Amino acid sequence: MKSRPLSLAPLSLALLALALAAAPAVAKDAFPTQVSLLIGFPDEDASGARGALVVPGTVLPVPVTAAAPVGLVEKEEEATARLVKVAEGLRKTLRLSTLDVSYRLPLSLEVDALRDLPPPTSSSDVRLSIKLLGYDENTASYEVQFFERSTMIADTRVAAVRGQQAVVGGLNGAEAPYLFLVVEPAPAEPSKPGPLKVEGDVTPPRAVHKTQPQYPPGAKQAGTEGVVVLRTTIDERGAVVDVDVLRGAPDGLTEAAVEAVRQWRFEPALLDGKPVSVYYNLTINFRLPDKKEE
């Protein structure tokens, strides 16, 4: 069985159509991972025995190509371009004459749940499985197993930076000597910028609803007055989402100020005409009315 040489433009279009058609709904507790299986044939003029250059379970270096947070079609086109780059690197490094894509699958993996993968070809004795070992905001780690019929021939652990690829290589006999499982964990979610300071080009928020603090009865009875200074975090909707006390006052005045301010609503701060989250200091002044002379 001879396979056609890698063709970049047709490959890109075919992979894009496959990914869009096969993408499943992702469960809330599952981790998205793209796996691609490449099948390669060595160059007949290359030195060494056929199929002897890649030991099953070998982790192979790949070019570093990070994913960008773009729309679905653009993301699939970019993912296809990264796969093509990896395939070309493998073909040149291992002196392969041809390298084809057996399949490309979007998976939703749960931690420690083994997932069997389709065989390279319908007649192949080799099968593969993958297990998600864990992930964080930066990397994901996997266990990749190669089986020949019922015998495990490789059990490899591999880690990949999220949005980049890791490759585990193996053998598939004379029919298709080289197998390369390309594993690509989902890119990390873009980090949301933290609150800004109200300075420079940031237009301050404007209060549109104020809840007056209730004067605590104990403070009234004791004649306690004071000033409470709060640092609030006001989000893009104008809601107070956090309150820190910069300066407090006794007899429940601090608590009364915090409770009231949490109910305030604002027109949000703006930067270049767009709502932004900001830190904003508020001062609440507690004063008792003057006592009338009897």
Residue-wise pLDDT for 89-104, tens only, equals 888 888 888 888 899 9
The full set of domains in the chain, from first to last, is 8-185 (no CATH), 196-286 (3.30.2420.10)
The C-alpha atoms of residue 142 and residue 87 are separated, in whole angstroms, by: 21
Q: What is the mean pLDDT of residues 202-226?
A: 95
Where do we find the tokens 């290359």? 46
172 DSSP assignment: -
Q: Residue 106: which of 80, 145, 126, 85 has the closest Cα?
A: 80
Does residue 46 carry a pLDDT above 80? no
Taking the C-alpha atoms of residue 198 and residue 135, their distance in angstroms, rounded to an integer, is 36
Q: In the predicted model, what is the mean pLDDT of residues 116-138?
A: 91
* Whether this model's pTM surpasses 0.75: no
Does residue 38 carry a pLDDT above 70?
yes
What pLDDT band is residue 35 in, cutting at 50, 70 and 90?
A: very high
Enter the tokens of residue 49. Answer: 């025995």
Partner residues linked to 159 by β-bridges: 141
Chain centre distance of CA 251:
47
Mean pLDDT of the chain: 82
pLDDT for 181: 94
Q: Which residue has the tokens 């990070």?
A: 66
